[in-house]
Structure 1
Amino acid sequence: MPKLRMTAGVLALAVALPLVSAPGARAAAFITELPGLPGHPSHRAVAVNDLGHVVGTASGNGPSRAVRWAPGLPAEDLGGGTPRSLNQAGRVLIQEYLGGSGTYVQRPRIWDQGKVTDLTPSGSGYVVANGINRDGVVPMTYSTSPSGYHQERAAVWRDGRHTSLPVSGAHLSLSAINDAGVIVGSKAPMFGTDAHAFRCAGTTCSRLADAPGTGPYSVTAVNEAGVVVGNRQGQALMWADGQVVVLAPAGGVANSPQALNERGDVVGWTTDANGVRRATLWPLGGKPVDLGVPGPSEAVAVNDRGDVIGWTSSAGSPRAFLWRAGVVEYLSSLGGTHTRPVALNERGTIVGESTTADGTVKAVKWTLLGPHQVG
């Protein structure tokens, strides 16, 4: 779809228009358990792309294993570690913790059609890489010694080599990258109060506008228009056109690269008068929409069609839901009481986890049937 740029005028509308909720059409969904790796009882899905590829983890028998599910194929073991991101070409970014007594070692790698590439910067210890874009570009932060875990340096893996970024400090985070190569993150100094969010394009990094408060930032997502969302001290934030807007003074943007879609819709939660979290959508050009799901609840992802997924724990265990054009549908389980979604694509697939009747956690996908499904 076209990449839309949000203007300052639209930002003003985002906090000025009345609460709206569009009438909608109901969608049906059915659940499928994703096959597991032998010898590993528990599985969790992490991400899905528009090809229908799903990645996740297998656990319960030694260290976690990274798993890939392709349509019509059995689960594929991608080695030790946890997938952090999956791009539309099917490349998988995996992190594996290898530290021991007195050391902090974590290594990122890319799995691409059976080929594995180690992305570890020379001399580093604990490396954190959270996203991979369409072209296989990966931003990362790292400690400069295996004896420490502070994220002191930043680099980008592109075309088979590392390029340093001009940011440093004890607590760096590179949270997300878009397909244009724009990287967003945050810095929290070891001492002092100069915490800030930033964006990097190429090897140039610039500070984002300051939001109210003095605490650290958590930046979660960036879209192709360069709109950025995140949080600070219990406030949900959006940056666009050099400005920052507080979407909610008591709330938060979901901790997911799908917290923001290409038309500028944002999901997360707001805290009501009783201090209870309520799943919330901030639509482009409108005020917050309470999704009508009992709290505690959170919305975790939104796709470009405007479908929103999330969970409510009003009855104790998390229960997955889909919100589509004003209509809420609760997603089925594998027989247990726990369902939690984590990601969705543009073709009517949601992935997450569900317990079976005996309480075992399994990776699942829900396939949507309705007016917006793509075959």
Structure 2
Amino acid sequence: MASVLSPRSLLTVATTTVVALTTLAPVPAAASPRTYRVVDLGTLSGGDGAATAMNDRGDIVGWSTVASGARHAVRWRHGVITDLGVLPGDTDSEAVDVNEFGDVAITSFGPDYLTRAVLWRNGHLLDLGTLGGENSVAIGVNDRRQVLGTSEPAGDMPHRFLWRDGTFTDLGQQYFYEFTADFNNVGDVVGGWNVPPQDYPCTCVGGRLRDGVLTRIGSEAVGVNNRGQVVGAANGRAFRWQNGTLTDLGTLGGDWSRATAINDRGVVVGRSTTTTQWQPFLWRDGVMTDLTTRGVRETDVIEDINVHGQLVGARGNRPVLLR
């Protein structure tokens, strides 16, 4: 049974936006954290894979190819990889998030490009269903055991939803050019919104949706932690936002940067330009560190950071843990 709220009644755009901007100059890498050791997590068939998320207990999820070449959602725990499977009749799946209970949010892919949001719990796959249409997609799972995703009602474009214990809460329509990126244990949802007047191609802003109120934050918001700190990009620069204050995290010497994830200690990872190229960074306590000076390659893709500062992602076509 779904609890459906109308988009008009649910979504109110906050009348106040960012009220302060603090610009931090780039700082030397000498103040940076550990040098990372890269661990190849392995795959199911020796082929391709990638890690997409991890929890503070060290569980890592992502995807791996199987012998047929299809992708399957997987979990790595204590060095052991587990195939989380696909829904009956489907061909592929990818895990996108894991909570502290070990619940895994998955999207399963079927024939004719149909998709279903799935929750893996205690060895079983649960098809979450849809809002009435044919498709749903999983985006995340939090420690309240809510699943964030998108699904279209019958005959409509996709809506954002929260699912818990079989009940959908419709968070309203996800319009063209919008995206939904992350959420936390409070239920704050961050992403990109096309706000009024919704001009073509897009009057797009980053934002946080909390209790039906949208607060505009930068150009795009892509990560949020359980303290309510939001990260993303504003005018081409990485930011961390908290309680109305947007802090510019700086760059590695170039003009551009973008934050992609944040842990519960407020440590941020992302990518920044130097004078010549894009490279991964870690920002902590006002210090932006070029991670290529700490064992990370410029082409490594970093997807997540946990409270211990461990990183997961991909090096080429291989899933990796950086610890």
How high is the TM-score relative to the length of structure 1? 0.65
Give the number of the structure with larger relative contact order, counting CA–CA contacts within 8 Å between residues 6 or more apart: 2
- Count of residues in correspondence between the two structures: 294
> Aligned pair in 2 of structure 1 residues 197, 161: CA closer, same or farther (>3 Å)?
same
Q: Secondary structure at the match of 1:81?
A: strand
Alignment correspondent of 1:260? 262
Alignment correspondent of 2:171? 165
> Aligned pair in 2 of structure 1 residues 120, 271: CA closer, same or farther (>3 Å)?
same
Alignment correspondent of 2:213? 205
The 8 Å contact of residues 237 and 247 in structure 1, kept in 2 or not, is answered as yes
**Aligned counterparts of 1:266 and 1:27: Cα–Cα separation in 2:** 16
For structure 2, the 5+ residue unaligned runs are 1-17, 87-91
Alignment correspondent of 1:227? 229
> Aligned pair in 2 of structure 1 residues 120, 76: CA closer, same or farther (>3 Å)?
same
The 8 Å contact of residues 154 and 168 in structure 1, kept in 2 or not, is answered as yes
**Aligned counterparts of 2:181 and 2:83: Cα–Cα separation in 1:** 27
Alignment correspondent of 2:241? 239
> Aligned pair in 2 of structure 1 residues 310, 164: CA closer, same or farther (>3 Å)?
farther
1:134-173 per-residue CA deviation (whole Å, 9 max, x = no partner) reads 1221222233458x8x54x222112320011145523432
Alignment correspondent of 1:311? 297
Structure 1 residues 176-185 or 161-170, which shifts more?
161-170
The 8 Å contact of residues 185 and 198 in structure 1, kept in 2 or not, is answered as yes
**Aligned counterparts of 2:161 and 2:291: Cα–Cα separation in 1:** 42
State the identity as a percent.
Answer: 25
The 8 Å contact of residues 68 and 78 in structure 1, kept in 2 or not, is answered as no
Q: 1:183 and 2:189 equivalent?
A: yes
Q: 1:51 and 2:50 equivalent?
A: no
For structure 1, the 5+ residue unaligned runs are 1-7, 212-216, 295-307, 313-317, 321-339, 356-360, 369-375
How high is the TM-score relative to the length of structure 2? 0.74
**Aligned counterparts of 2:249 and 2:34: Cα–Cα separation in 1:** 28
Shift of 1:281: 3.8
The 8 Å contact of residues 237 and 253 in structure 1, kept in 2 or not, is answered as yes
Q: 1:277 and 2:278 equivalent?
A: yes
One-letter identity of the residue aligned with 1:94 = I
The 8 Å contact of residues 155 and 165 in structure 1, kept in 2 or not, is answered as yes
Q: 1:174 and 2:170 equivalent?
A: no
**Aligned counterparts of 1:272 and 1:29: Cα–Cα separation in 2:** 23
1:182-223 per-residue CA deviation (whole Å, 9 max, x = no partner) reads 111222357354322332224x222315x4xxxxx4321112
**Aligned counterparts of 2:282 and 2:149: Cα–Cα separation in 1:** 30
**Aligned counterparts of 2:36 and 2:289: Cα–Cα separation in 1:** 22
Q: CA RMSD in A?
A: 3.6
Shift of 1:107: 1.0
